[in-house]
Amino acid sequence: MKRPRRGLFWVVYPTLLASLVLVAVLGAVAWRLFAGAMGMGGGASAGQARQMHMHLLGMLLSVAAVVGVAAYPVVSRLTRRLEALRLSVEAWGGGQLDRRARVDGTDEIAAVAASFNAAADRTDALLAAHKALLAHASHELRSPLARLALAAEMLAARTEPGLAALVRREIAELDALVEEILLASRLDHGPDPGENERVDLLALAAEEAARASVRMREVEADGIPFEVTGSSRLLRRLIRNLIENALQHGAPPVEVELARRTIDRDARIAIAVWDHGEGVPAALRARVFDPFFRPDGWSEEGGGWGLGLSLVRQIAERHGGRARCDADDGGATCFAVDVPAAR
């Protein structure tokens, strides 16, 4: 956590002290001028007047000191409460959604804290409603899909095999689509269960490459496993989406490559999927990972909902990684992710 700030304290409290001292000095000067003008009864000597003046100055300064000491806890408490409120708001903004501010008394700071709490409660309720909606949508969308899959299977025995395969493929695609949309929304809602497994990325990449019938470049075997910490389910999705993106928008040969990198003395594992398509113009490379991004002039024909690469980035960032798009001199395009290696 950051060191608590006391900026406000250093503005308010010294200003208060300075103004008290100023008032004391001004008061003394005014008294002296005033007393001088009155003549002070003529009997009093200049020395007496001076002594009286010093007394007065001393008195005013001690009043200033007392007020200053008394004001210290008040000002300090005020700024500490503001600081506590700031920390609560920051923690909440940083993802601790159950964090609330303490409401002390009925002053303005308490009112701000109460307003913040009310806003946080409302956001919480909205998030909970959103989650419930997702859970229901997941169930409601899958029920007809399950029936459809069953119906297709029962029909398959009575129809031509090509048609049955077609129906099965479309059902699988719809299922995958539902899964991606739900996953994208779920990733915004806190951690997934089982996110702390040790995952062998090389095994995962080999499996997904075999599944999609694409080649895997030979790795430099050094006996150390290519392991990262995270969710194997999400990382599988990441690799699958990278390969599917290359197959859909790039051109063969598509190749998967895994390598170790050291970036800023940090051991990372980089996974790259290469293709030999037209590639992405340099100016657009930063944006290909945005949801629903489609460069001008790219056909709608190819399919791809526009969530695939944004999921890649979401999952990479969740694992402390980064996603990027690059090209080499030979005209090959590469979509790559690097994530910290497991310790």
Partner 1 sequence: MAETLLIIDDDVRLADMLRQYLSQAGFAVEARHTGLAGLEAVNGPAKAAYDAVILDVMLPDLDGLEVCRRLRERRDVPILMLTARGEDTDRIVGLELGADDYLPKPFNPRELLARLKAILRRRRDAGEGAPALLRFGRLEIDEGSRSARLDGVLRSLTSYQFDLLLALARHAGRVMSRERLMDLARGEELEAFDRSIDVHISRLRAALEDDPAHPRRIITVRGAGYVFARAQDQG
> What is the 3 state secondary structure string of 61-76?
HHHHHHHHHHHHHHHH
Residues 6+ apart with CB under 8 A from 257: 216, 217, 271, 272, 273, 274
175 makes contact with partner 1 (CB under 8 A) = yes
265 makes contact with partner 1 (CB under 8 A) = no
Residue of the chain from 97, 145, 247, 332 that contacts partner 1 (CB under 8 A): 145
Nearer to partner 1, 35 or 202 (CB): 202
Residue of the chain from 171, 177, 181, 251 that contacts partner 1 (CB under 8 A): 171
Identity of the amino acid at 25: V
**Other CB atoms closer than 10 Å to residue 99's CB: what's the count?**
16
38 makes contact with partner 1 (CB under 8 A) = no
One character per residue 204-223, x = contact with partner 1 (rule: CB under 8 A): x-xx--xx-x--xxxxxx-x
325: which strand partners?
335
Counting every residue, how long is the chain? 343
304 makes contact with partner 1 (CB under 8 A) = no
As measured in angstroms, the least distance from the Cβ of 202 to partner 1 is: 5
| Rounded-to-integer distance, Cα 324 and Cα 275, Å | 14
Do the Cβ atoms of 85 and 112 come closer than 8 Å? yes
224 makes contact with partner 1 (CB under 8 A) = no
As measured in angstroms, the least distance from the Cβ of 138 to partner 1 is: 6
Nearer to partner 1, 193 or 297 (CB): 193
138 makes contact with partner 1 (CB under 8 A) = yes
307 makes contact with partner 1 (CB under 8 A) = no
Greatest distance between any 2 Cα atoms in the chain: 131
Nearer to partner 1, 83 or 195 (CB): 195
Identity of the amino acid at 209: A
Interhelix angle 232-249/308-318, rounded to 10 degrees, is: 150
Helix (H, G, I), strand (E, B) or coil at 269: strand
Binding site for partner 1 (CB under 8 A): 138-139, 142-143, 145-151, 153-154, 171-172, 175-176, 179, 182-183, 192-194, 199-200, 202-204, 206-207, 210-211, 213, 216-221, 223, 225-226, 232-233, 236
